[in-house]
Amino acid sequence: MASFSTVACGVCDSQHTTTNADYWCPECDEGLCSQCLKYHNASKALRNHDVISVDNYKQLPPSIANISTYCSQHERKFQNYCSQHASICCPKCVQSDHANCVGILSLENVIQTAKTSVLLETIDQNLKDIKMNIERVVKNRTQNLVEIKKQKQKFHGEIKQVRNQINEHLDNLEQQILQDLHAAEDKIKSHIDDQLRKLTEHTEKLDLLQTNMSAFKEYASDLQTFLGSKMIETEIKKHELFMQSLCKDDSLHKIDLNCKIEDRISDLMSAVTSFGSISVESSSPLVVLQSEKDKQAQIGTLNHAPSTTFSDIKLTLKRKFEYTGVTGCSFSSTGDIFLIDHSKNRLLILNESGTLKSEILLSKNYPVDITCIDDKTVAVSFHNSDQIQIINILTKIIDSMIKTYSDSHCLCYRDGNLFSCNASIGIQRENVSGNGSSTLNKDATMSPWSFVTTSKDKIMYSNYINSTVTCCSLAGQKMWEYKDQLIRNPRGIAVDKDSNVYIASSGNNSIIVLSSDGKQARKLLGRADGIDSSFGLAFDIKKENLLVANYNGPVLYEIC
């Protein structure tokens, strides 16, 4: 929390008078006494500032409270945000340091949704995920200690039982084997205790981050919230790297004690020179680290495959599926394939080999697209409908329905939210739990059969009529737009682990890949490769497979 015993009134201080502040104006970046607050609120230029009490201001962590709205180098107020360098800028900074940068945005527009942004929700979820994983690891390590103790007791009994059957000559050997056993347990206990200590330290730090975040969500200014989110996101990455290191360095392997008693113990006096041996065995971890992202078919796992350079991306045919009338597709977290049969109003669930596992008849006509929410539920959109259905694939029953602003053809899921393309409106975000909706990106040119996907901190969508592919931030600010003869009437869109963008260019029956910055484009597949009347796309991050929803028969490709 902010460590301020007293805060002085900035206005009084400028007049060489010392008065304790009762309020704090984040935009003026100074304290105000009750009298000066009246003048502040009376000023036309200042009356709309969000003033908070000094007590609330003191609740902010120092790293947030110390964020200034003015550039320390030029003493000018920050007015812009450079997405290329991820930094805020004053007008002079733009002229001197960012003149050639692409993507200079209005800071006011960037931070206006800071407290309701998907980034803040993602950070909050990441904190919960890491704490949940720590709890799992602590439980696993504690259970391992219990098992080790039981194993130690078991082997200790065996040793004593054998010891009672032989003569005094075994005393020295018994002591040695018991020392080895205790030493092995102590070594394991020391190792696991060290792990638990580190996990406790990370838990305490995460608790502090959560407390700090709650404070600045409640009391910080939009700028402070935006930059504070960035700070906490950086800290979260450190904790995520720590959790990933536990998997990579074998720290989570299950440890067992092993004791082997000599078979010829009866020949002890002449042949046996040791009582036995103590060994420590390590096996694969039983605990699985999981986050909300892991439940999504298009989000990567903890162990990423090596990156493929843009110029080296190639797709080869893996499998064709004998279904027609398909417009939408998706992968489940377990690798199953979802297909939307637009012509027969049904949802098909297949395994990777193409075997039909389940068929769900849909209650509305002309389904269009599908996205996986978790292991049990999916979301389905429909043609000429402002309704999205949330369907339980186990019970085949509609769990809930979400109403959108207009005809929502195509959609994707991320971190508890559905993103859909609304014709003539733009990209709409709907909370699956029903906690609100918003239009992230207003685009009056949005046409039917436009598709959307997300990657890291970006949203990408196609525009079928304009033949464009657009990338914007999670706050809705446009970052780049691609338009070229290579892409005609684009529909389906998907991203790989490196944020390369795959486009179903239906106007020329091809699959195009765009680099993550939208500056490079290559044709990967054409009609000769099986691309014909393609609609939706889905990318399996784990297996690096691309699923193309051809209307006349879906096709599965793999990166080679």
Q: What is the 3-state secondary structure (H, E, C) of 504-556?
A: EEHHHCEEEEECCCCCCEEEEECHHHCCCCEEEEEEECCCCEEEEEECCCCEE
Token pair 């010891």: residue: 163
Give the integer Cα–Cα distance in Å for 25 and 34. 12
pLDDT value, residue 1: 43
Residue whose C-alpha is closest to residue 105's, from 475, 519, 525: 475
Domain residue spans in the chain? 1-67, 315-559
Give the integer Cα–Cα distance in Å for 10 and 498. 49
Please, which residues bridge with residue 316 across strands?
A: 558
Question: Using H for helix, E for strand and C for coil, what is the string for 70-137?
Answer: ECCCCCCECCEEECCCCEEECHHHHHHHCCCCCCEEEHHHHHCCHHHCHHHHHHHHHHHHHHHHHHHH
Residue whose C-alpha is closest to residue 520's, from 476, 490, 486, 547: 486
Say if CB 24 and CB 31 are below 8 A apart: yes
Straight-line distance from the first to the last Cα atom of the chain, in angstroms, rounded to the nearest whole number: 51
Question: CA Rg, the chain, in Å?
Answer: 30
At 311, list the tokens: 């110029």
Give the integer Cα–Cα distance in Å for 339 and 345. 11
pLDDT value, residue 272: 60
Give the integer Cα–Cα distance in Å for 444 and 246. 48
Q: Write out the chain's pLDDT in tens, 560 residues.
A: 455 578 899 999 999 889 999 998 988 888 999 999 998 998 888 888 889 998 888 888 887 877 888 898 998 889 898 877 888 999 999 999 888 887 788 888 777 766 666 667 777 888 888 888 898 889 888 988 998 899 899 889 888 887 777 666 667 777 888 888 899 889 889 888 988 998 899 999 889 988 888 888 888 888 888 888 888 888 889 888 888 888 887 778 888 888 887 666 656 556 666 777 888 777 666 666 666 555 543 433 334 445 568 888 999 999 999 999 999 999 998 889 999 999 999 999 998 888 999 999 999 999 999 999 988 899 999 988 888 999 999 889 988 888 887 777 789 998 888 999 888 888 888 888 777 778 887 888 888 889 999 988 889 999 999 999 999 888 778 899 999 999 999 999 999 998 999 999 999 999 999 999 999 999 999 999 999 999 999 999 989 999 999 999 999 999 98
Decide if domain 1-67 falls under CATH 2.60.40.
no
pTM: 0.51
Decide if domain 315-559 falls under CATH 3.40.50.300.
no
Token pair 């107020």: residue: 77
pLDDT value, residue 168: 65
Question: Using H for helix, E for strand and C for coil, what is the string for 177-193?
Answer: HHHHHHHHHHHHHHHHH
Give the integer Cα–Cα distance in Å for 370 and 390. 10
- The CB-side HSE value for 2 (13 A sphere, CA atoms) comes to 20
Residue whose C-alpha is closest to residue 556's, from 322, 345, 263: 322
